[in-house]
Structure 1
Amino acid sequence: MKRHSFHMFPRHLGFFPYLWLVYLSLPIYNLISYETGWKLYIGYVMVGLFFVTYRQLYFAEGKRSFFPWLLLQMLIILIFCIGYSSSYLLMGFFTANFIGWYTDKQKFRTAYILFVLVETIPLIYHMDEIWNINLLYTLPFMIIMLLSPFGIRSMISRQKLEKELAQANEQIHNLIKGEERMRIARDLHDTLGHTLSLITLKSQLVEKLVDVNIEQARHEAREIQNTSRAALRQVRELVSDMRTATLTEELNEAKIILQSADIELTHEGNPRFDGIPDTAHNILSLCLREAVTNIVKHSRASQCHVSFEQSEGEWRLLVKDNGVGVPNDNHGYTREKNGLKGMAERLALVGGMMRITAERGTLLTVRVPIVITNRKEREA
């Protein structure tokens, strides 16, 4: 049977709930300074019970038990203020914070009216005691305390709206991606479906003509070549129409991501790469994105350097960091992981390759060969 670990407060709130506990020292100080006998011990019990209500309210948010715990907390404040001293009114700051959590107007109004009664009844009860110089000290805090539920409620409502907006934007983004996939699928089907079906039929015809009419078979084979070139041209047109990632855009994104991780980015060379096809450019951009993501997640580096190099035979992308490096095998290559494996698979589509070495950090070298397209084929 799985045991649930005990948490004093919800873990996602961090140290925030603990900071408020500092203010519980004030009622404890008042008890020690001014009370004796049974009132002192009952006061300790009520402070302990008040702490319990404080803790439980964090876990009861949005549940039916929230209001009973809130009501018990206000009752403790009322007993303290009437039975002990009006100085315990400032314990209402705890309750004011929790009242602001109500998003329902009716529930917020009900809790707020009860809170105002809890804070004003002791003032009337101790009227002969508090109408002195101490009132000038207490009154500003009372006004702030009575207004704070509205501020907290407004802040929480804004956070909720921002969260809903972020979720809506994410949903829109997913819908756009889904629609883009459908568009690409339709384009591929409409553009290449007929062409590929034609290639299939002609290849079957060539298979039958080989033993019957060799000249006709050669003619059909040439037709298949022309049709396949047309299909290749159609694919290139589709790719050029799609919005692909570019190295310039990815470099700008890398600056933002690395800066947020306190990693300094430097670069050299021209990220545009003269004459590089869209497909190869897109794959190199994805490799740069994957490399930057790995640096932020795993390297613990403070510096990152990106180089773009171009020679007569290849385009090169080099990404170097000064982090902890990566585990190597005996041949100097890293063990493949999912991200690196996917990077290598994408590079294989354009005849590229990658290598990662670890020496005073990590160096990723990506190479993509420059393929000289046959002039006649390009013109066709």
Structure 2
Amino acid sequence: MAKGKLEIFPSRYGFFPYMFLVYLFMPGYYIYFERGWKLYAGYVLLGLFLITYRQLYFAGRSFTSWLILQIAVVLFLSIFININILFLGFFPAHFIGWYEERKKFYTALVLFGLSIFTPLIIHYNQLNPNALFYFIPFILIMLFSPFGIRSMNSRMELERQLDEANERIEELVKREERLRIARDLHDTLGHTLSLITLKSQLVGKLLTKDIERAKHEAKEIERTSRSALSQVRELVSDMRAITISEELQASSAILEAAGIAFQYQGDSRLEEASGITQNILSMCLREAVTNVVKHSQAKNCHISIIENEGEIMISIQDDGRGMDENCPEGNGLKGISERLELIDGSLKITSYKGTKLMITVPVIVKEREAGVGS
């Protein structure tokens, strides 16, 4: 809410708080036919009820006090003005469902139930059996509706926490990628630039001694600088979010160019996986395929994706020489494990007649419901 601007109801609830004000016209209609103090007291209390309804949307620590006052207004109006005003109980029934603590929720629900049945007991002799049966179904709805409201609010809170968790994961992914790029620049590009510097110094010395060798070294500098430019482009392209489908196409091209037969099995769409999960899995797949090309000396590489309820499993298996047991964390495997930790994933490695990487990632499916009502 902007400073100095009065907000009647919180904007996040939309039009619903205003819509349910329509139900205040019926109590106003009943009060209209009263005379004397009942007429004035009735409208004053109805106005007070309206204030409590508004305040309950904003109340923090005073929430319980406003709720008790609202229930008291309903109790007084239904006892001394008109028994039909008892239906205003749907309003406090809604707000009771906002309690997160079980003890407070059930305490409020019991007290509310007592306040609802009290007017019926007092006016019992004035009600005919048909009128009594008319009230009972609505009273039962009042008493059970807080459970539904509480369940809906709990679900919305869980979704809010999940959104916050996804935002934190995104920040962690960005931070991890910045660290990875910094490591790549230091390990790869830094070495290349150092090489260019040394060769440049050598060319300067050779210009007066061996012109042909100086030309050769100059061409080497050009080749090395082009390689550095290519590395920078690769680092920049890595920052773009990619899907599993796109990475599989790239993996197929890389493997075929290296003379390694590529076989794939499974559904690459992964519709239940978020963009963050797909991006991290794509980077892990790229690292794994790069390892196969550079280190495995394999003739075949098989990739399979299995999407079960609640998890995704990706298998990358080759028929190469296997993994060096003295270097289990080498060849980028540590980077894969670190990325998977960001999404609670795991990496299992087996080395028998080649190497097999098994990546497992949990998937949380979100179902959203629109609308908030009283």
Q: Shorter-chain TM-score: which interval?
A: 0.5 to 0.7
Aligned partner of residue 45 in structure 2, secondary structure: helix
Tell me how far apart the structure 2 counterparts of residues 198 and 154 of structure 1 sit (CA, whole Å). Answer: 65
After superposition, the Cα gap between the structure-2 partners of 1:70 and 1:242, relative to the gap in structure 1 and judged at 3 Å, is closer
Question: Do the aligned residues in 1 keep the contact of 2:78 with 2:86 (CA within 8 Å)?
Answer: yes
The residue type paired with residue 93 of structure 2 is A
Mapped to 2, the partners of 1:209 and 1:230 lie a distance apart of: 24
Does residue 138 of structure 1 match 2:135?
yes
Residue 103 (structure 1) aligns with: 100
Q: Take 1:105 and 1:194, find their aligned partners in 2: how far apart are those partners?
A: 62
Residues 246-272 of structure 1 show CA distances to partners (whole Å, capped at 9, x for unaligned) of: 9x98xxxxxxxxxxxxxxxxxxxxxxx
- The 1:234/1:67 distance shift into structure 2, 3 A limit, reads closer
Q: Which 5+ residue runs of structure 1 have no aligned equivalent?
A: 250-380
Q: Determine if the alignment matches structure 1 residue 171 to structure 2 residue 168.
A: yes
Give the letter aligned to residue 91 of structure 2.
Answer: F
Of 81, 86, 103, the residue aligned with 1:84 is 81
Corresponding letter in the other structure for 2:22: V
Q: Give the structure 2 partner of residue 22 of structure 1.
A: 22
Question: Displacement of 1:244 after TM fit?
Answer: 6.3
Whether the 8 Å contact between 2:177 and 2:239 is mirrored in structure 1 is no
| Residues 207 and 240 of structure 1: CA distance in aligned 2, closer, same or farther (over 3 Å) | same
**Corresponding residue number in structure 2 for 1:284:** none
How far has the Cα of 1:131 moved from its partner?
A: 4.4
Q: Deviations over 1:156-209 (max 9, x none)?
A: 111111121122223223322332332233223222221111101221332344
Q: Report the counterpart of residue 224 of structure 2 in structure 1.
A: 227
What are the Cα deviations for residues 107-166 of structure 1, in whole angstroms up to 9, with x where unaligned?
Answer: 212211211111112222222123421122221111111111111010111111112112
Match runs of 1:154-303 below 5 Å: 154-211=151-208, 214-232=211-229, 234=231
1:253-293: CA deviation from partner (whole Å, max 9, x where unpaired): xxxxxxxxxxxxxxxxxxxxxxxxxxxxxxxxxxxxxxxxx
* Partner in structure 2 of residue 57 of structure 1: 56
Report how far residue 98 of structure 1 moved: 0.9
TM-score if structure 1 supplies the norm length?
0.58
Report how far residue 4 of structure 1 moved: 0.6
Quickly say closer, same or farther: Cα 1:166–1:207, change in 2 above 3 A: same
Residues 110-129 of structure 1: matches in 2 within 5 Å? Answer: 110-129=107-126
- Supply the distance in 2 between the matched residues of 1:30 and 1:212 (Cα, whole angstroms): 112
Deviation per residue, 1:10-53 (Å, 9 max, x gap) = 223222111111111111111113x1111111111111111111
- Looking at structure 1, the residues matched to 108 and 64 of structure 2 have their Cα atoms a distance apart, in angstroms, of 8
Amino acid at match of 1:42: A
Q: d(CA) in 1 for partners of 2:195 and 2:3?
A: 65
SS of aligned partner of 1:59: coil
Name the amino acid aligned to 1:117.
L
Mapped pair 1:47 → 2:46: yes
Distance 1:196 1:108 in 2: 67
The residue type paired with residue 102 of structure 2 is K
Separation of aligned partners in 1, 2:36 and 2:200: 104
CA, structure 1 residues 137+3, in 2 after alignment: closer, same or farther (shift >3 Å)?
same
3-state secondary structure, aligned to 2:117: helix
Q: Is the 8 A contact 2:30 2:82 kept in 1?
A: no
Tell me whether 1:148 sits opposite 2:114 in the alignment: no
Q: Which residue of 2 aligns with 1:252?
A: none
Q: What amino acid is the match of 2:220? A: E
**Which residue number corresponds to residue 8 of structure 1?**
8
With over 3 angstroms needed to count, the CA separation of the structure-2 counterparts of 1:235 and 1:19, relative to structure 1, is closer
Name the CA distance, whole Å, in 2 between partners of 1:45 and 1:69. 16
TM-score, normalised on structure 2?
0.59
Which region of structure 1 is more displaced relative to structure 2, 51-60 or 164-173?
164-173
Which residue of 2 is the match for residue 71 of structure 1? Answer: 68
Give 1:71 deviation, angstroms: 0.7
Corresponding residue number in structure 2 for 1:349: none
Match of 1:289 in 2: none
**Structure 1 CA distance for aligned equivalents of residues 96 and 237 of structure 2:** 57
Mapped to 2, the partners of 1:239 and 1:10 lie a distance apart of 43
Identity %, equivalent residues: 59
**Would the alpha carbon gap of residues 240 and 142 (structure 1) be closer, same or farther in structure 2, given more than 3 Å must change?**
closer
2:54 and 2:237 map into 1 onto residues whose CA distance is 59
